[in-house]
Structure 1
Amino acid sequence: MARRTRILGALASLAEKQRNVLARAVTEACRLVAAQGVPAVARLGIAELDRQSLVEVTVACVADASDTAEYVTDKSSLDKLEKIGSSLTEFELSNFPGSSTKIVLGQAAPSLVRVSQHDVAHWRELLTAETPEDAIAIAQQGRQQSEAELDIARSHGPTLEAAQQSASDREDLETLSLVASRATNAVLIMDADGSIQWTNDAFAAQTGYSNAEVFGERLDKVLFGADTDPKAVRDFQQALRNGHEITEDVQQYHRDGRTYWVECKLIPIHDTDGKLSRWIGIQSDVTRRRQTEEALRAAKQAAETSSRTKSEFLANMSHEIRTPLNAILGMAELALTTDLSPEQRDYLRTVRSSADTLLQLLNDILDISKIEAGKMEIEEVDFSLPDVVRETTKALAVKAHEKGLELSVHMPMDITQYLRGDPTRIRQVLFNLVGNAIKFTDRGEVAVEVEEQWRTDEDVGLHFSVRDTGIGIPKDRLQQIFESFTQVDSSTTRRFGGSGLGLTITSQLLRLMNGKIWVQSKQGKGSTFHFTIQLKIGQQPTDASSTHMDAGTLAGKSVLVVDDNATNRRILEEMLRHWRMRPTLATGAPDALKQLEKASRSNEPFDVVLLDAMMPQVDGFGLAEKIQSRPDISCGTVMMLSSADRPSSAARCRELGIRAHLVKPITASTLLETILTALSQDVTQGRAKRPAAPLDEELAARPEPKRSLRVLVVDDHEPNRNLAIKILERRGHACIPATDGDEAISACAQDAFDAVLMDVQMPGRDGLSATREIRLQQERSGSQFPIIALTAHALSSDREKCLAAGMDAYLAKPIHARELVALVERITGAAPEKGHNGAPSSPPTDSQPFDISAALARMDGEWDLLREYIRDVVDDIPQLIDGLWAAIEDGDARSLQMSAHRLKSLVSSYDHSEARQLAQTLEDMGKDGEINDARTTMNRLQLLVDELVRALSKHLQEEK
């Protein structure tokens, strides 16, 4: 029996390898059963599909069957056999039909092979033999024929041992098939080419297709249809080509046409040589899961739509509420300027404070509604990182000062300064975090630090941290604080106020910019909020190197830094050493006086002294008075660093001869510009103290230009426009005025000019847009003339934008007559030869309550020209003030920014530093859209500007 079993296995294996004798081998296996009279059960099936007959056969010996060999000649079986052309027909063949030990191996995996019509006829002949002797004779005859064919096969193919190994593999596959046949999931076996060779009953139940119907077909051809995802079809086809395992949800078609979803997994099977031999497919019906997912997706979409509708409603309502609220704030401000009883004043202050809180809540709701509605867009423009940090923190410096807090900013000097991203949203994130830190801190400091985490040629990763010494956050609330309308606890809302939306807005903005935020905190000790962001590296302005060249003049100069705060001392020391200056640090007035005395005794006085205004025991002003009262102490330029920009502070600085008054936090560019300006003013004012001499001896002999020029002057601000025109006309040049970018474009299209002076910030079409259009016109016409930008941001990245737009040069406002003339004549080739043109008239000797000498210097010493400019300024300032108040009343941030920018330009002409800084603060508020505190700043600014107008008007009366 063992020998016969091996022979059967070898024949079956050989049949699988050599298809030309496959049917003969299977036939021989059954003949052996009939010929030897071995008790056995055979399960056979014959069907005709696509004109090719198929036969299934499984043969097994039965050990305890009867020794009597009988053959089945059941009429029903014969009838079934003759129905070859119909669907699959199966019957049982047994040589002991009446035995109680009858075994039917229905669960075993049958061998499914293709056979010819000749084989089918032979089966019929064998099965319809009338006696066992006839069947044995037929079998022996067939056996001899099969052995001959087997010898031929051996001579051309595998050995018996190889056939036995293949039989072993076949037995493994049959074992796997036995397990798969009982699986509830649909299972199919495919050959290496992806043709289906076998399927289980669950496959038929799932798909409606029987084993015979899908035999030899490809999965995608049978089950995929019009609604099947084309990507899924491509994925399966590619996996079959490349021999890679794949698992993917796919929509299939049942035999009756309905669709369903399955999770289909195809697993490649390799032989001992690593060659792909077959595929096993497993399919799980996931229709219900997909329906659930679709229902959830629809519900989520409906919820998002509802959320967007809610957000749009809130946004509209916030706008509707803002209008009457602005009126309430405006009327409260006006009422507070009238004569009121203490009780009335207290009532109105409560109204103003409550209205301010409500306005901030409306702003938060508007932002969060924009984010939820998907309408918050992230820009990508070039900007200066130091400028963004400076503008943001300076707007919060007043609040920090009112609470007695130190607000410091630290950025390494080698940090990448020019970046590309959304500066407005970065300002908003910083404003929220720093504002919160100030709000929740009663004493100590708030420190902002920026550092680079990494840098490539194109991108940079930045890490910001905002550290405070405030109330801190409990550990169990650290994650919840980033949720909407959430604060640490209800008592926090009652004590500090706020909507609880600030951190939600911040985290959402960072998410939109692909950043992340987290917090470290200890209750009662303070918190540190961190956020990271990745930005592109912007193009460095072509003029950026000029700052470093100017800084080179400071190398070797000595500086005394007096500040009781260690963080501030560290930051200032790092900046000063970067410019190769020699800083000495002092923690207070006693230490500073010792250092000053020591320097004076060694005849090496400090070139610059930086004093902190807020220090214990003796503050900065008290120290300045002591220095001034000590004749044995000599020092150079004294500057005051204050946490707030107050008119009283500026007035005290003037009284004590302090050259500059800086508001913390201080950025490197601001400190550098201030030191350079202060040192140069010392020289200029030293010359101006000679009342009988010209302001600048070089102006006493001014050469004539080579030729007269035709210049287009574009500026929406009439005093600035008239000033530039009059300066150039004094040099014999012809000037044509234009009030905005559109007029400039039209003028350049119709006329020819030697040069154009173009203001950058104008309503409507600005200078940058106008320049681009003019350059396009010139490309078509072939003409070319220089365009000079007039900008108030000489040390910012705005100058880069000017040059990128096609401008040839730029001038910083306020305009200096000598610089304007020199640049225009040089860039047009009209620069004069050396010669003389007479001296300007001398300035009056009467002292003025404002810095008239600085204004006169910008007019090239021309008093007549200065008088005309003062008249224009006196007429224009009240209109600008009215415009600022109107912008604040209407909540119009853009108008506030533009009006404040113009006012800053005017007051800068007279070196009114405190008024200029307040105007800059208003401009920054407008740029950031954070105008809630604008009224307080505006009230202080109006007092200073009114004083300036009175002084200018008085000067005009005295000069008549």
Structure 2
Amino acid sequence: MLGLAFLVGLSTFAISVLTIDVARDIGQLNSADSDNIQWSLTQAEVEFLEFERDAILASQSDAPDFSSMRREFDIFYSRLDTLSQSVIYADLRREAIFGTSLSTLRGFLDETITLIDGPDDKLQAGLPQIVKQAEEMRPVARTLSNSGLTYFANLSDQRRRSLLGTLSRLAVAIGLLTLALVTLSLLLNAVNKRNRRNMISARNSQDRTETIINTSLDAVIVTDLSGKVLDYNNAAETIFGYSRDYALGKELGELIVPEKFREAHSAGMERMRRSGERRVVGQGRVQLEGMRADGSLFPVELAIQSASTAEGEVFVAFLRDISARIAANEELIEARDKALESEKAKTNFLATMSHEIRTPLNGLLGSLTLLHDTKLNAKQSTYVSNMEKSGRLLMNHIADVLDITTYDAGKLEARLGPVNLSTLFEDIVSSQSSAAMANGSTLEWGWVGNPVEWIETDKRKIQHILVNLVGNAIKFTHDGRISIEAEVTEDASGQKTAHLRVSDSGSGIAPDMLDHIFEDFVTGDASYNRDVGGTGLGLGIVKRFVEALGGKVQVESTVGTGTQFSVSIPTRIVKRTKRTTAGEGKHQSSRALDILLVEDNEINQFVAQEMLQNAGHQVTTADNGEVGVELAQAHRFDLIFMDISMPVMDGREATRTIRAGNGASHAVPIVALTANALPHELEAFLLDGMNDLVTKPLSADALAQITNKWSTFDPMDTTHSSNHLISDDHFTEIREMIGTEQHEKLFQRVSGELEDFVTAHTSSTADALPELAKAAHKIAGGAAAIGALEIADRLRGIETAAKSGDLSNVTDAISALPEAWTQTMSAFNARNT
């Protein structure tokens, strides 16, 4: 009895202590209404979505009513203020994710409140920004709600675990005190209590889930494995137009799947039931078409997940109406297309105006050149020189504007080729020294470190860069010194960089101008009484050219001391190339040529005719491409000059027509006349069958160089040794004009055409000879354009044999082509190393 009494007393004491702990734990559980707390967190997201919806509706309305939007904003603001200040959420605010999300949303409210509380016109103007920011804040609101719910759920779990431990210890104490039946009764009572709590918790959780689903802006539809609808939220009613009572129990495909997709939908459901294969479930969001109750179709974003329940597997589909987003994207694409069309129209306008301006300017400059060759007195000679200088200055300005337009349109391509820097610097110093001397300045150049004569770069662009920089230095330097320095360095990876520096001791550039000096139409001195002229485009073009070459340009300057421009361009060192100048080798000729000049502009035609006739050549003129074709077919000329832009028939079409026919001049050299040719345009000219190019304005020297170059050309001469597989002059010249990369692509194109030709015609019959002759003629023109003389000659021989019906010689000649092309490719690769 004493022992039992002691046990009773000890148990009573233990029970008392445990009872106090239970009371404390229960008190903690009842210190705040968990449901209300979590409801507030959930409602914060719902109210944000309500505000976002009203903002979107207002942005889409011509006469929006902002009262609802402002009311939702105030409600959400109040809700967020509660979360920010209430002591109930003090611990929650210390959580990193919740605190960051809350701070982000507060920032959004603080930024937006000025518009919300402001006048309607400012609010309407700011609606697009509010909608955009609200869309960006939507995941933040979701994160805020989810992190808060997670926190309180974890906290509730911890308290329940603590209470469970206390009750367990209490049960042990009571078990020691009471009989088995009493202990069993108490245990049953405890289990019953836990069940009731679980039921209440489950009911509350279900209520919360239903609230979230029913207040979601996305349609949520739950189906079973057979596709029958088990649940259907309010958003689904709004989006699809079916009431919940009507939708429950219906087959999903009959409700929302368009008729054209129902067969595929049914097949997919059957496949999933039969084999378990799932192509959409759990695969994230997909874009499909949905159908409303009225039969109208609209784009939806769909995501499906599966879940296991006591009744079996169910599928939860989340669907969002994305009609507004699709429409916005289409409007954006339409706006982009209009902008591109506008940019293209501007580019075409400038190209057309360039041709229209250059054409009369070419005639003016050509006429002045012819006038120089007449007898003039000193005053007349001065007038002519001044006019010629003004005309060439205008031509340079036109070229500058076109270069800028070409770069901004993304069509300014680098024409990489071997360049001798020393020769380039000597030419620039030679051409600019007189201008420097006029200002009392000296112009010099030199190397820093070991000289590197030959590098791969774009000669024209480098020359343009240096001429602009040197020209600027000369303008602003009086009685001083201008120097050009060159240095080639190598980094740890082996990358070579060419450094070009132009320094002067001139007036310098003001510090506030340094950040703008490379902008268009910016000059160092914009006053009306400035000492130097210029459009302010030169340095803008320098920057564009340097960037087109993958480099960068920098400037350092001190007012009164001088300026240094530094250009750094990636490059590689190449072997020295050999070129025959116009005055030596095979280009040297005094033979008078019979020339066809095809030019539609009367003045340009007159100027070119006079220059050629003064050089001793016989010239026949044609006003358009169609007339030029007729003359070329009827008479064999030694050389044809072909303008590109002409009425009736342009120069490219005329060239293709001449090359495709069997006229008297179908194989003679054709030289393009154009105001401005981009690399891809020059490549197109070559593929059309043209052999060379001369740019306007025409000069007697340029025409003389072309006539000398082609004066010894004989299309009927097919005797070439193995040392003349490739024309060195033509190979180097074309590569410099269109760039190494484009030249290699052109060579590979001819290689592919030749391979196809050999494959197609190795076993030709007599009936196929006419087509074979045409194919050989076409490829011969491309081979000649890239300087592959041996192949071009062999193809011309095949063409001649095919036209005469000599099948045996044609077959033998075709079988020999692969070996000849292998030798040509070896020669090509040797020149590129």
Compute the TM-score of the two structures, normalised by the length of structure 1. Answer: 0.34
In terms of fraction of residues, the more strand-rich structure is 1
